[in-house]
Structure 1
Amino acid sequence: MTKQYQALFLLFSVPFLFSSELTAAKVSPAGTSAKALSFIQSSCKSTTYQSLCVETLSVYANTINTSPRRIVDTAIAVSLNQALSTKLFLSHLTKSQFRTLADCQPTADVFTTDCTCSVQELQEVVRCTTWTECLFHVNNAEVCAISAESYSVENSCSSPFAGPVKMSVRGRISDAVRKSLHARFAKLHHEINNAKMLFKAFRKN
Structure 2
Amino acid sequence: MAKQYQALFLLLSVSYLFSSELTTATLKPAGASTKALNFIQSYCKSTMYQSLCVETLSVYANTIKTSPRRLVDAAIAVSLNQALSTKLFISHLRKSQFQTLQDCAPSTDTFNTDVRCSVQELQEVVNCNSWTECLFHVSNAEVCAISGESHSVENTCSSPFAGPVKMSVRGRISDAVRKSLQTRFAKLHQEINNAKLLFKAFPSNHK
Same fold (TM over 0.5): yes
Q: Which residue of 1 aligns with 2:12?
A: 12
Structure 1 residue 96 corresponds to structure 2 residue 96: yes
Which residue identity does 2:94 align to in structure 1?
A: T
Identical-pair percentage: 78
Structure 1 unaligned segments of length 5 or more: list them.
none
Range with bigger deviation, 158-167 or 52-61 = 158-167
Range with bigger deviation, 90-99 or 23-32 = 23-32
TM-score by length of 1: 0.89
- Change in 2 beyond 3 A, CA 1:23/1:111: closer
Q: Which residue of 2 aligns with 1:64?
A: 64
- Change in 2 beyond 3 A, CA 1:203/1:30: closer
Range with bigger deviation, 152-161 or 76-85 = 152-161
Which residue identity does 1:173 align to in structure 2?
A: I
Range with bigger deviation, 176-185 or 164-173 = 164-173
Whether the aligned pair in 1 keeps the contact of 2:139 and 2:196 (CA below 8 Å) is yes
- Change in 2 beyond 3 A, CA 1:184/1:139: same
- Alpha-carbon distance in structure 2 between the residues aligned to 1:118 and 1:176: 23
Q: Which residue of 2 aligns with 1:180?
A: 180
Deviation at 1:165, TM superposition (A): 3.3
Whether the aligned pair in 2 keeps the contact of 1:47 and 1:194 (CA below 8 Å) is yes
Range with bigger deviation, 70-79 or 2-11 = 2-11
- Alpha-carbon distance in structure 1 between the residues aligned to 2:67 and 2:102: 51
Whether the aligned pair in 1 keeps the contact of 2:101 and 2:174 (CA below 8 Å) is no
Q: Which residue of 1 aligns with 2:122?
A: 122
- Alpha-carbon distance in structure 1 between the residues aligned to 2:140 and 2:166: 35
The CA RMSD over aligned residues, in Å, is: 2.4
- Alpha-carbon distance in structure 1 between the residues aligned to 2:85 and 2:97: 19
- Alpha-carbon distance in structure 1 between the residues aligned to 2:164 and 2:10: 56
Which residue identity does 1:116 align to in structure 2?
A: R
Whether the aligned pair in 2 keeps the contact of 1:138 and 1:196 (CA below 8 Å) is yes
TM-score by length of 2: 0.88
Q: Which residue of 2 aligns with 1:55?
A: 55
Whether the aligned pair in 1 keeps the contact of 2:125 and 2:137 (CA below 8 Å) is yes
- Alpha-carbon distance in structure 2 between the residues aligned to 1:164 and 1:78: 43
- Alpha-carbon distance in structure 2 between the residues aligned to 1:185 and 1:23: 17
Which residue identity does 1:63 align to in structure 2?
A: T
- Alpha-carbon distance in structure 1 between the residues aligned to 2:52 and 2:140: 21
Range with bigger deviation, 121-130 or 164-173 = 164-173
SS of the residue 1:46 aligns to? coil
| Aligned pairs (5 A) from 1:7-156 | 7-13=7-13, 14-18=15-19, 28=28, 30-100=30-100, 103-156=103-156
Count of equivalent residues: 204
- Alpha-carbon distance in structure 2 between the residues aligned to 1:200 and 1:105: 35
What are the Cα deviations for residues 80-113 of structure 1, in whole angstroms up to 9, with x where unaligned? Answer: 0111111111111023203238652212211111
What are the Cα deviations for residues 161-204 of structure 1, in whole angstroms up to 9, with x where unaligned? Answer: 76633540233310100011111110001000000000000053
